[in-house]
Structure 1
Amino acid sequence: MKKIAFEWYAIIEGCFLVALGFFFLQSSSLLIGGTGGLAAITNNLYEISLGTWFFLINLPFFVIALKQMGKSFTFKSIVSIALVSVLSDALSSMIVIDVIPLWLAAIIAGGLMGIGLLLVFRNGASLGGVNILALYLEKHYGIHTGKVIFIIDMIILTIAFQVYSVEQVLYSVIASLVLTSVIGRYHKKAPISQLQPKTDRLKSRFKRFRLFSK
């Protein structure tokens, strides 16, 4: 119970940091890659709220999560996305920032979201869409999460040129670079020994024991 409580506490912390990052982006009319970027672009065209679009766009990806990543991962991810959606809209309604340099907003948002995603990742959850795909590719093919997120982010930011100005997109790229830099430095893939089946690990240890005993 204590372990589960700490996991959820960390997930809630991570969701709050990501939502705070969204707030800085939204306050500066910037965006980030992934489903968050798609939500911002869609909300710019059909305004409801960023949080609502973020939740709706992520829903289809839970089919992949349920089939490939398990029920526990899917449940935690759905709760995490719901939290980020609610917190993003709540922060936007409670706090107003009149003036902030775009470069500063990009760095703050990218850093906050990067740390928040790490907390969510390390406790067996995701924030949907691109993150689920990234974790799936890392688990099955060993491709680092940071690389997958960066490539897809750049694709979405390229689409953003249709809605945002060149200056806004360029500063948004800075936010994505900061975010992926944080994840790339601190998100470590599971050691190979931990990914091996338990019987294989026991066999390898037994072989080493026999070698040392000779």
Structure 2
Amino acid sequence: MTSHKKSPEQHSWYEDIFAMLLGLSLISFGVVMYLETQVFTGGMAGFSLLLQYATGWEFSTIFFIANLPFYILAFLRMGLLFTFKTFLIVTLISVFSKILPIWVQFSELDPLFASVFGGLLIGSGILFLFRHRAGVGGMSIFAQFLQDKNLVNAGYFMLGFDVLVLVSGFFVLPWESVLISIAGAVATNLVIAVNHRPGRYTGMSIEKHVLGR
């Protein structure tokens, strides 16, 4: 007998919308927990959080502006639909992270719990976006562009950027907060590493959705 491997089904538009809303909601809530306890993570989100702590500028504004230069690269490499989804998600994360504190206040929130649990939420949100052909913008698009030009390995570049962001935290926050933040960054990456399998969903490889965190 000849066995036929079933091709993964493409998601419908309403499945994409629901997953994107769920993903960006999880990421936004994780960010709000980080803002409440002054911890941060790697990637562009971590850079934006750290810059807020250092300057007092709002995360939502920094995150939105910091991602703007990368949309051109996203369009050139990933196409119009991915770029539109990513722009929409970045914009809504910026908005949600600003308005969620109006609806949710914490009377007490342990920083280590916030870092790890918030990291799990962010990782889960990114995973939802991965599976629906979307990302959260950021430096990973630039990393993939550099790899395409044979200038650097994208994975090593992203690891280096994450390390740079986390180490920079020692110049802004107490060392205890930085160590707690590292625990949250590990939690985020564990969620993605354990649950994301290239080609499992809609026949896509990891290179077809870049993580911008």
Q: TM-score, normalised to structure 1's length? A: 0.80
Aligned twin of 1:176? 185
1:99 aligned counterpart, secondary structure: coil
Structure 1 residues 145 and 182, CA, compared in 2 at 3 Å: closer, same or farther? farther
- Among candidates 98, 120, 136, match of residue 89 of structure 1: 98
Shift, 1:112, TM fit: 0.2
1:30 aligned counterpart, secondary structure: coil
The residue identity in structure 2 corresponding to 1:24 is M
Shift, 1:98, TM fit: 3.1
Report if aligned partners of 2:38, 2:53 keep a CA contact under 8 Å in 1: no
Aligned sequence identity (%): 27
The residue identity in structure 2 corresponding to 1:128 is G
Equivalent runs, 1:46-57 vs 2, <5 Å: 46-57=55-66
For the pair shown, the structure with the greater C-alpha radius of gyration is: 1
- Among candidates 162, 165, 182, match of residue 174 of structure 2: 165
The residue identity in structure 1 corresponding to 2:186 is L
User: Which stretch shifts more, 2-11 or 81-90?
Assistant: 2-11
Aligned twin of 1:117? 126
User: Which stretch shifts more, 171-180 or 123-132?
Assistant: 123-132
Number of residue pairs matched by the alignment: 193
Q: TM-score, normalised to structure 2's length? A: 0.80
Report if aligned partners of 1:150, 1:176 keep a CA contact under 8 Å in 2: no
Shift, 1:161, TM fit: 1.2
CA distance in structure 2 between the partners assigned to 1:175 and 1:72 by the alignment: 31
Q: Any unmatched runs of 5+ in structure 1?
A: 197-214
Higher RCO (C-alpha 8 Å, min separation 6): 2
Report if aligned partners of 1:146, 1:184 keep a CA contact under 8 Å in 2: no
CA distance in structure 2 between the partners assigned to 1:114 and 1:135 by the alignment: 20
User: Which stretch shifts more, 39-48 or 8-17?
Assistant: 39-48
The residue identity in structure 1 corresponding to 2:93 is V
CA distance in structure 2 between the partners assigned to 1:50 and 1:6 by the alignment: 29
